[in-house]
Structure 1
Amino acid sequence: MNGRNNRYQKDYQNQNRTQESNRQQKSKNQEDPIIIEVKENITKILSKEIDRDGKILIENAMKLGEYLKDKGMTTSQIRNLYNEAKAIDYNKENGPYNVSLLRAKFAYNAGKYKDKVKGFQIIADKALANVDSADKFERFLDFFEAVVAYHRAYGGKE
């Protein structure tokens, strides 16, 4: 009888460990509300027709800049990615290809810096997936530049 109770106790402990592990994994996979909000606004941010005055672009850049500062991302990390993006000329033959490749560079940085860059990578990936014209790429660069500026303005470290 004692061996049987022991086995049930071990099964119960394993079940509790599994449930706790699942809870932790679920909380890791949940996106921050700021990331969700900015991600939902990406199509508006990239559209000159919808966001003529840039108000949506700026509001979201402010939120994301502060979020990245709070996550500990440095201005240099953001600026390095920005410089990669800015070097692309969308109007050249390989421009759209280079924009697609930029998605991989963001993913690499998200893997390298984990929590610091992951939210930014999610947003950048969604934005870059929606870039299908030089105008949208220009808006992406404007948004990116504004994020760098607000990150620094909110006290982001160099």
Structure 2
Amino acid sequence: MPINVNDAQSILNPRDAGGEMLFRKAEEIGRELVDKKVSMSQIRKLFSEIKKIEYDAQKNYQYKLRLLKAQIGYTSGRFREFSYFKESFYNLIDKTLSGGEAELKRFKDFFEATIAYFRAFGGK
């Protein structure tokens, strides 16, 4: 099941120090991406862009998140199997945009954990 708005809020919540929801959902999405036959090459460019995003007080990072959202939409349009990923990450990006530095860090951690689980479950 894709990440809904409430899940996104829980995943990005910095008060959840153990990251229970973050890692549970990352595992779920990683497995689902493998099941839907998404390839690492479809994810690689997005992952590289996410790693470059840094928090700044002027909120320039928000521009980069919005650009990432557009890139995810483009990839989803090219590859149908990517639509599950799009549904989940659109909600996460929207919640990250309304947060601050801690939420951005957790968003990046979530994406990294999702990729790790994707690889662990045999994603190529």
Taking structure 2 as the reference length, what is the TM-score of the superposition? 0.90
Quick check: 1:102 aligned with 2:68? yes
List per-residue Cα deviations over 1:21-62 (Å, max 9, x = no partner). Answer: xxxxxxxxxxxxx21xx324111000111x220111111111
For 2:55, what is the secondary structure of its paired residue? coil
Quick check: 1:145 aligned with 2:112? yes
The number of residue pairs the alignment matches comes to 120
- Runs of at least 5 residues in structure 1 that lack an aligned partner in the other structure: 1-33
Quick check: 1:118 aligned with 2:83? yes
For 1:104, what is the secondary structure of its paired residue? helix
Partner Cα separation in structure 1 for residue 44 and residue 114 of structure 2: 10
Residue 110 of structure 1: CA displacement?
0.6
Residue 92 of structure 1: CA displacement?
5.9
Residue 90 of structure 1: CA displacement?
2.3
RMSD, matched Cα: 1.3
For 1:73, what is the secondary structure of its paired residue? coil
Partner Cα separation in structure 1 for residue 114 and residue 71 of structure 2: 18
Identity of aligned residues (%): 34
Partner Cα separation in structure 1 for residue 54 and residue 86 of structure 2: 21
Partner Cα separation in structure 1 for residue 22 and residue 41 of structure 2: 22
Quick check: 1:44 aligned with 2:10? yes
Query: What pairs up with 1:1-158 in 2 under 5 angstroms?
Result: 34-35=1-2, 38-39=3-4, 40-49=6-15, 51-91=16-56, 93=58, 94-114=60-80, 116-131=81-96, 132-157=99-124
Greater C-alpha Rg: 1
For 2:27, what is the secondary structure of its paired residue? helix
Moved over 6 A (4+): none
List per-residue Cα deviations over 1:41-97 (Å, max 9, x = no partner). Answer: 111000111x22011111111110000000011123223211111111221632111
Taking structure 1 as the reference length, what is the TM-score of the superposition? 0.71
